[in-house]
Amino acid sequence: MRVVMITETFLPSTDGIVTRLCASIRWLKDQGHEVLIIAPDLGVSEFEGVQVAGIPAFTFFMYKDKKYAFFSPKVKKHLKEFQPDLVHVVNPAFLGITGIFYAKRLKIPLIASYHTHVPKYADYYRVSMFKPILWWYFRTIHNRADINLCTSGSVLTELKEKRFHNVHLWKRGVDTNQYHPKRYDDGIRNRLTAGKKDKKLLLFVGRLAPEKDIEKIRDLLKQSSEFCLAIVGDGPHRAFLEEYYKGTNTVFTGFLHGNELASAYASSDIFVFPSTTETLGLVLLEAMASGLPVVAAESGPTSEQVSNGKTGLLYDPTKRGNFTDSILQLKDEDYRLKLSEQAHEVSQAIGWEEPSQQLLGFYKETLKTSRQTSGILKEN
């Protein structure tokens, strides 16, 4: 099968979308399928032998630290040259619209996958009045696809309520070889704790943006000197956060990748995740696979991954102080280690093989339906 994936984000960017795409592309290539990636041009031209066709990228006024590609006729050129059996548009917003437009125009079967709750971000950027328009916009473009995918059951329910058509769950995955307690590194722990290795090390990994609610972690550091915090990632909120956390035991590392990121997880004690706007949050699985108990805001997607009191603790984001109180429970080392062991054990049943096989199944279903529809149209 020949597949074109058109994505708003790809390497060298690092997030849950890129992680999922890389795992899926790698698996499809190993199975003998041909893939072309069309993405904003960020200087990467290939991924493990798979071509990355770059589209000129520009900064967006609301998110100046990241580049986006917009409507471009180059997408049509790449589609006509590659002659795909199917187009998969990932998280369509800007570049993805081009993919949808030309796939429909060239009569190529089309799948779209939903990964980011952009309408929910409106509250954090003080543009709540635009939420109905945003939902209309994303519903309109997704409903051009033959099949829509999303990454958690709660988001699946929400999208159906918002009248998205033919939505299916694309299962979660994690690389249990890469993310593992054996990746512990004393030098990394020394770096993340700024030399205070005996303190309990809290870890946050993700995009530094207002919707992540990273500010909530500071209350614990102010209340207890037994903890320190490492914030791994970058984004438009970093300068604000560095100022906000001044005077606390906090280290900002910027982006970490590969083995260094895996060691950051394994060398920490507790993973903290206050965001309530996720569609899944793959970092939760990476942390659990690394043997970290998770303290996360209770939401539909987090509840599907973290078992409260077993693999981590889910706090009530509507109750003031509940986040801090939940983390303080893990001062009990026996309890923390118990959750740590259970988190690692549960994660071992989850890999990238099953979601990748499932994705191929969605591709085959889309092709079959498209051919049947074409046959009916020809007969008529």
Taking the C-alpha atoms of residue 296 and residue 270, their distance in angstroms, rounded to an integer, is 11
Please check the confidence at residue 89 and state whether its pLDDT lies above 50.
Answer: yes
End-to-end CA distance of the chain: 28
Please check the confidence at residue 378 and state whether its pLDDT lies above 50.
Answer: no
Nearest 10 degrees: Cα torsion 161, 303, 220, 227: -140
- Helices 282-289 and 333-347: crossing angle in degrees, nearest 10, is 110
Report the pLDDT value the prediction gives residue 14, as an integer from 0 to 100. 84
pLDDT tens digits, one per residue of 325-336: 999 999 999 999
- Please compute the mean of the pLDDT values over residues 104-125 and round it to a whole number: 90
pTM of the predicted protein model: 0.92
pLDDT band at 380 (very low <50, low <70, confident <90, very high): very low
Rg (CA), the chain: 21
Range of weakest confidence among 9-23, 60-74, 98-112: 60-74
CATH (one of 1.10.645.10, 3.30.750.24, 3.40.190.290, 3.40.50.2000) for 2-173+352-379 = 3.40.50.2000
Report the pLDDT value the prediction gives residue 280, as an integer from 0 to 100. 86
Contact 7, 42 (CB under 8 A): no
Please check the confidence at residue 63 and state whether its pLDDT lies above 70.
Answer: no
Please check the confidence at residue 62 and state whether its pLDDT lies above 70.
Answer: no
Higher pLDDT, 130 or 169: 169
Give CA angle at 179 (6, 40), nearest 5°.
Answer: 20
Please check the confidence at residue 150 and state whether its pLDDT lies above 90.
Answer: yes
Taking the C-alpha atoms of residue 33 and residue 30, their distance in angstroms, rounded to an integer, is 7
Contact 149, 362 (CB under 8 A): yes
Residue 222, Cβ density class (10 Å: 0-12 exposed, 13-18 middle, ≥19 buried)? exposed
- Please compute the mean of the pLDDT values over residues 340-368 and round it to a whole number: 97
Residues forming beta bridges with residue 167, ordered by sequence position: 148
Report the pLDDT value the prediction gives residue 61, as an integer from 0 to 100. 61
Please give, one letter per residue, the 3-state secondary structure of the chain: CEEEEEECCCCCCCCHHHHHHHHHHHHHHHCCCEEEEEEECCCCCEECCEEEEEECEEEECCEEEEEEECCCCHHHHHHHHHCCCEEEEECCCCHHHHHHHHHHHCCCCEEEEECCCHHHHCCCCCCHHHHHHHHHHHHHHHCCCCEEEECCHHHHHHHHHCCCCCEEECCCCCCCCCCCHHHCCHHHHHHHCCCCCCCEEEEEECCCCHHHCHHHHHHHHHHCCCEEEEEECCCCCHHHHHHHCCCCCEEEEECCCHHHHHHHHHCCCEEEECCCCCCCCHHHHHHHHCCCCEEEECCHHHHHHCCECCCEEEECCCCCCHHHHHHHHHHCHHHHHHHHHHHHHHHCCCCCHHHHHHHHHHHHHHHHHHHHHHHHHHHC
Taking the C-alpha atoms of residue 121 and residue 283, their distance in angstroms, rounded to an integer, is 19
Report the pLDDT value the prediction gives residue 126, as an integer from 0 to 100. 76
Where residue 107 falls (left for φ over 0; alpha for ψ -120 to 50; beta otherwise) is left
- The domain limits of the chain are 2-173+352-379, 181-347
Taking the C-alpha atoms of residue 303 and residue 64, their distance in angstroms, rounded to an integer, is 32
Taking the C-alpha atoms of residue 107 and residue 326, their distance in angstroms, rounded to an integer, is 53
CATH number of 181-347: 3.40.50.2000
Residue in the block written with tokens 């300068």: 239
Contact 87, 6 (CB under 8 A): yes
- Please compute the mean of the pLDDT values over residues 342-369 and round it to a whole number: 96
- Please determine whether the domains at 2-173+352-379 and 181-347 fall in the same fold group of CATH: yes
Half-sphere exposure of 272 (CA within 13 A, CB side): 31
Query: If you average pLDDT over every residue of the chain, what do you get?
Result: 94
Taking the C-alpha atoms of residue 213 and residue 274, their distance in angstroms, rounded to an integer, is 6
Report the pLDDT value the prediction gives residue 123, as an integer from 0 to 100. 79
Contact 220, 144 (CB under 8 A): no
Taking the C-alpha atoms of residue 215 and residue 240, their distance in angstroms, rounded to an integer, is 10
- Please compute the mean of the pLDDT values over residues 256-280 and round it to a whole number: 95
Please check the confidence at residue 174 and state whether its pLDDT lies above 70.
Answer: yes
Taking the C-alpha atoms of residue 341 and residue 338, their distance in angstroms, rounded to an integer, is 5
pLDDT tens digits, one per residue of 283-306: 999 999 999 999 999 999 999 999
